[in-house]
């Protein structure tokens, strides 16, 4: 039990809700069993701690967003498949936001899958349909859930009966709020998401999500319920975020017992183009009605064999805001979507693996058809590489290195080196690592960068990314060693030198940092970076070295030499010790 949880136990939040015990933890905070002292009924209170430790302006922004969205959730009509929100508020004494919900007895779907494996087909489809009905409650009220996943689907026990409830509509964002005030509440437009279940448009950071985004998440949930596996890998999701179309894996290849009509429903829900999915969650629920009726009395009710390894072993819930990250569990990761580009910023062209644009406006398609002077495959490869590189640049622009003096954009992409990007899988892992790095998780980022380097060891960029992650982790000596070994192989990649300077400065080796910056200035083609590096060099060279005086010998250890005989040669007096000089750089 954390210190905050101990502090809250027995306390009354808002002068009304007496906290009793922790019953769940998540990325945004913890859920407590409590008693409504005014009405004398048990309730669940979710205390939001994700903003703790942020600066006052950020805390107020998050608080305004929380209250706005909690109010939206509280206005939802009662429905058997959606959790009821009773109240929300802020404890003035502790400064903690909370939301009060009905207390449910049972377990979430993530726990059920981990404990009992995949349910029988009829039961799996019933859970999916009821979850879709719950999400549809929000869609009818103009809300998108944005974080549909097993951890947000709760199985409520009522004797021998079991109901399905959708949780956490409090993190939804009103679809109708497109005005300036709403934009101010969301600040940078980012919203929580769980990459394992997020739609391609969420992974790209699209600000204008539709109910079809939740339909995709429900499709990913349904895929897992009937096959025992998730539909997409980390590399697949990285490709989606880079505007590359990823085909839906065939369900019956993973479980031959899946009926064809069920596969068709789930594959449509997972279509990469939102306009080709079911328009909202209610339409998906209606599409499942027929298969559920036909399966109910057949042998297909048998359970699906569980896939090797736990289904939810990486169901980590992670909420990242600014550079803060909180964990609870292991993947159902809830994290922030990519920051939105500035208005007017050109977006990468959506490209399928085949080279066909995913959604191409008529004008752009006409222009593309006129470019027949180059072999089509050349355009396929060019667009794929440019789309991926553009996404990397876009990701990097959202997060700068703050370790030591910044002499260059930490993860900037040298477009002159696109010849080294010859392996899409490695690049996809690199992009996933960048996502974690920007979310404040350098340890996880380091793992992805290492895997990218194993696939494509010729690309110095992946080793440079590993070094940046090591710097963020405070492992400066390892970073310096890695960078120096890479420079011996690839001497013309300028970012290696700028990051080596960061590492050497952190280690107090100013002279080596100066040499690295001099090399950076010599080889970089980026004018702005060269100017910043030259300013840093001037500061390092003109910084007066600190004088470290040698202390006088202590009286307690002073030794008086014996008198010198007149007939003995006396050595010349010993010169006074010189002050020692140490070069350093103020931190």
Please tell me the predicted confidence (pLDDT) of residue 267.
Answer: 98
Residue recorded with tokens 């995913």? 358
Please tell me the predicted confidence (pLDDT) of residue 164.
Answer: 97
Provide the phi-psi class of 290: left if phi over 0, else alpha when psi is between -120 and 50, else beta: alpha
What confidence tens digit (pLDDT) does each residue in 230-243 have?
999 888 888 888 78
Residue recorded with tokens 């699209």? 206
The strand ranges marked E within 212-265 are 244-245
Residue recorded with tokens 């390892």? 478
CB count in 10 Å sphere of residue 322: 16
Residue recorded with tokens 């109240």? 87
Please tell me the predicted confidence (pLDDT) of residue 214.
Answer: 97
Measured CA to CA, the distance from residue 210 to residue 266 in angstroms comes to 18
Measured CA to CA, the distance from residue 29 to residue 116 in angstroms comes to 27
Burial environment of residue 534 by CB neighbours within 10 A (0 to 12, 13 to 18, 19 or more): middle
Please tell me the predicted confidence (pLDDT) of residue 463.
Answer: 93
Domains and CATH numbers, the chain: 1-103 (3.30.200.20), 105-172+190-341+348-364 (1.10.510.10), 377-542 (1.25.40.10)
Burial environment of residue 522 by CB neighbours within 10 A (0 to 12, 13 to 18, 19 or more): exposed
Q: What is the 3-state secondary structure (H, E, C) of 160-226?
A: CEEEEEECCHHHCEECCCCCHHHHHHHCCCCCEECCCCCCHHHHCCCCCCCHHHHHHHHHHHHHHHH
The tokens describing 99, both together, are 């939301």
Q: C-alpha 327: how far from its chain's center?
A: 11
Measured distance between the N- and C-terminal CA atoms of the chain, rounded to whole angstroms: 37
- Residues 6 or more apart whose CB falls under 8 angstroms from that of 377 comprise 355
The strand ranges marked E within 9-103 are 12-13, 17-25, 29-36, 41-48, 85-91, 96-102
Torsion, CA 218, CA 220, CA 226, CA 229, rounded to 10: -150
Length of the chain measured in residues:
587
The residues pairing with 351 across neighbouring beta strands, listed in sequence order, are 244
Measured CA to CA, the distance from residue 263 to residue 259 in angstroms comes to 6
Measured CA to CA, the distance from residue 137 to residue 219 in angstroms comes to 17
Q: What is the largest CA-CA distance in the chain?
A: 121
The tokens describing 431, both together, are 């992009």
Measured CA to CA, the distance from residue 154 to residue 145 in angstroms comes to 15
Q: Do the Cβ atoms of 9 and 23 come closer than 8 Å?
A: no
Q: Do the Cβ atoms of 548 and 579 come closer than 8 Å?
A: yes
What confidence tens digit (pLDDT) does each residue in 142-193 have?
889 999 999 999 999 887 789 999 998 755 553 434 333 333 333 344 455 6
The tokens describing 462, both together, are 């992946």
Q: Closest Cα to residue 62, out of 73, 49, 51? A: 51
CB count in 10 Å sphere of residue 255: 18
Query: Which residues are part of the catalytic machinery?
Result: 147
Q: Do the Cβ atoms of 324 and 438 come closer than 8 Å?
A: no
Please tell me the predicted confidence (pLDDT) of residue 241.
Answer: 82
Please tell me the predicted confidence (pLDDT) of residue 238.
Answer: 81
Q: Do the Cβ atoms of 243 and 351 come closer than 8 Å?
A: yes
Please tell me the predicted confidence (pLDDT) of residue 431.
Answer: 82
Alpha-carbon dihedral sign for residues 380, 383, 386, 391: negative
Measured CA distances, 365 to 361, 389, 568 (Å): 6, 22, 103
Please tell me the predicted confidence (pLDDT) of residue 542.
Answer: 78
Residues of the chain with confidence (pLDDT) below 70: 1-3, 26-28, 50-55, 58, 170-193, 297, 299-423, 543-587
Please tell me the predicted confidence (pLDDT) of residue 300.
Answer: 55
Measured CA to CA, the distance from residue 220 to residue 214 in angstroms comes to 10
Q: Do the Cβ atoms of 485 and 456 come closer than 8 Å?
A: no
């Amino acid at each position: 039990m954390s210190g905050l949880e101990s502090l809250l136990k027995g306390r009354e939040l808002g002068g009304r809700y007496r906290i009793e015990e922790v019953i769940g933890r998540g990325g945004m905070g913890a859920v407590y069993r409590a008693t409504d002292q005014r009405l004398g009924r048990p309730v669940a209170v979710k205390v939001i701690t994700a903003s703790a430790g942020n600066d006052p302006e950020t805390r107020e922004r998050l608080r305004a967003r929380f209250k706005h969205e909690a109010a939206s959730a509280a206005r939802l009509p009662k429905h058997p498949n959606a959790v009821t929100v009773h109240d929300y508020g802020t404890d003035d004494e502790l400064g903690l936001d909370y939301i009060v919900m009905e207390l449910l007895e049972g377990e979430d779907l993530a726990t059920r899958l981990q404990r009992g494996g995949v349910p029988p087909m009829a039961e799996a489809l019933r859970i999916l349909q009821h979850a879709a009905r719950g999400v549809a409650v929000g869609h009818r009220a103009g809300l998108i859930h944005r974080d549909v996943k097993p951890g947000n689907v709760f199985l409520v026990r009522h004797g021998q009966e079991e109901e399905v409830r959708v949780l956490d509509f409090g993190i939804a964002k009103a679809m109708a709020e497109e005005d300036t005030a709403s934009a101010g509440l969301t600040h940078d437009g980012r919203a929580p998401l769980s990459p394992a279940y997020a739609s391609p448009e969420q992974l790209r950071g699209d600000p204008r999500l539709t109910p079809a985004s939740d339909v995709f998440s429900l499709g990913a949930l349904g895929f897992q319920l009937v096959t025992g596996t998730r539909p997409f890998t980390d590399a697949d999701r990285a490709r989606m975020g880079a505007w590359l179309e990823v085909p839906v894996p065939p369900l019956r290849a993973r479980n031959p017992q899946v009926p064809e009509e069920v596969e068709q429903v789930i594959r449509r829900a997972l279509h990469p183009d939102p306009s080709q999915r079911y328009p909202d969650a209610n339409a998906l629920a209606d599409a499942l009605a027929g298969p559920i009726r036909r399966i109910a009395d057949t042998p297909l009710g048998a359970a699906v064999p569980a896939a090797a390894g736990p289904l939810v072993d990486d169901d980590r819930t992670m909420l990242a805001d600014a550079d803060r990250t909180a964990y609870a569990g292991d993947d159902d990761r809830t994290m922030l979507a990519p920051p939105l580009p500035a208005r007017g910023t050109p977006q990468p062209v959506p490209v399928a693996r085949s080279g066909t644009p995913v959604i191409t406006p008529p004008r752009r398609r006409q222009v593309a058809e006129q470019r027949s002077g180059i072999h089509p495959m050349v355009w396929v490869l060019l667009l794929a590489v440019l789309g991926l590189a553009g996404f990397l640049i876009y990701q990097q622009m959202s997060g700068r290195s703050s370790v030591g003096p910044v002499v260059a954009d930490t993860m900037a992409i040298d477009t002159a080196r696109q010849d080294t990007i010859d392996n899409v899988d490695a690049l996809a892992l690199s992009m996933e690592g960048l996502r974690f790095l920007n979310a404040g998780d350098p340890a996880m980022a380091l793992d992805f960068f290492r895997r990218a380097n194993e696939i494509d060891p010729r690309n110095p960029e992946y080793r440079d990314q590993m070094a940046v992650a090591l710097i963020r982790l405070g492992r400066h000596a390892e970073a310096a060693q890695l960078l120096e070994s890479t420079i011996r192989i690839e001497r013309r990649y300028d970012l290696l030198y700028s990051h080596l300077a960061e590492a050497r400065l952190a280690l107090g080796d100013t002279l080596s940092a100066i040499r690295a910056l001099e090399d950076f200035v010599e080889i970089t083609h980026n004018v702005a970076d060269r100017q910043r590096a030259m300013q840093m060099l001037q500061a390092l060279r003109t910084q007066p070295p600190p004088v470290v005086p040698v202390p006088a010998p202590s009286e307690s250890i002073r030794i008086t030499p014996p008198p010198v005989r007149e007939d003995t040669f006396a050595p010349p007096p010993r010169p006074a010790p010189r002050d020692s000089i140490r070069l350093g750089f103020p931190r």
